[in-house]
Amino acid sequence: MGAPLLQLTNVTKTYGAGAAAFAALNGVSFEVAEREVVALVGPSGSGKSTLLNILSCLDQLSSGAYLFQGQDMSALDPRRRALFRRHLLGFVFQDFKLLARMTAAKNVEMPLLYLRVDRGERRRLALQALDLVGLSGKADRRPAELSGGQRQRVAIARALVARPKLILADEPTGNLDRHNSQEVMELFLSLRRDVGATLLYVTHDEHLAAMAGRQLHFEDGRVVGDDAG
Ligand code: ADP
């Protein structure tokens, strides 16, 4: 494995204050290397989504340190956090979060719009990303004209189009049937090779978790297991 892409040291996240304070993360430490693939597993309420929010800089930690490529992320101002998300991060959601009125290609172009890539280049890169996820013929379809598996493929194309370093996914196959789950997960995992990205995904499915090279087990806001294989 290469140099660490990210390092968490004793990270806590507390919601509320005083007697009502609740530690959703309670001293989490781990490193993830460049191009590693990690499944986050654990019961509901164990802190997995809270962790994704912190890794994506949508939320800030209460104490501890989060370094990304050696840089202290907790020190970034909101503008730099937004730039981090635009340039270095891709995200895949359980419920796809596609814009219903836009075509597949326009959905995939969205991250490039924020990066001010010009129109022709946006279209070209979006078609390339759709090709990579096996949807070259569907560029001008709207989400309602696509199956669940195809919608998530569009969302994966959107997550990879700006070539991020890190791609996070929160139960990316949670809304799909078994067959589509397997296919979409294989596609997601191929981004490590095709995009050179580091992948972290939450799943409740043991079989899908086993497809990652490493499983981090969460319980009560802590890492209780870190298994390879
Ligand atoms: P998981 O993703 O593993 O199901 P979460 O990270 O969503 O777990 O939640 C961890 C714990 O933190 C849960 O007990 C949840 O109720 C609590 N929690 C999450 N977000 C908030 C919030 N905004 N305010 C208060 N408590 C929260």
pTM, 2 dp: 0.95
Rounded to the nearest 5 degrees, what angle is found at the Cα of 17, between the Cα atoms of 13 and 20? 100
Which residue, among 11, 68, 20, has the nearest Cα to 218 in the 3D structure? 11
What's the gap in Å between 133 CA and the centre of ligand 1? 32
> Is the separation of the CB atoms in 87 and 57 below 8 Å?
no
What is d(CA 49, CA 137) in angstroms, rounded to the nearest whole number?
34
Angstrom CA distances, 190 to 77, 206, 215, stand at 33, 19, 17
Ligand 1 atom closest to the CA of 52, numbered from 1: 6
pLDDT band at residue 113 under the 50/70/90 scheme? very high
Q: In testing the pocket of ligand 1, which one of 22, 58, 94, 202 has its CB within 8 Å of the most ligand atoms? A: 22
- Which pLDDT tens digit goes with each residue over 12-42? 999 999 999 999 999 999 999 999 999 999 9
| Ligand 1 atom nearest to CA at 202 | 2
What residue owns the CA closest to ligand 1's atom 13? 45
Q: What's the pLDDT tens digit per position in 42-67?
A: 999 999 999 999 999 999 999 999 99
* 15 Cβ inside 6 Å of ligand 1: yes
- CA pair distance 168, 21, nearest whole angstrom: 27
Does any ligand 1 atom lie closer than 6 A to the CB of residue 29?
A: no
- Measured by CA distance, the residue closest to atom 20 of ligand 1 is 50
At residue 218 the predicted structure's pLDDT band, cuts being 50, 70 and 90, is: very high
Tell me how far apart the alpha carbons of residues 181 and 184 are, in angstroms, rounded to a whole number.
Answer: 5
Does 1 score more than 60 pLDDT? no
Residue 5 Cα to ligand 1 midpoint, Å, equals 25
Radius of gyration of the chain (CA): 18
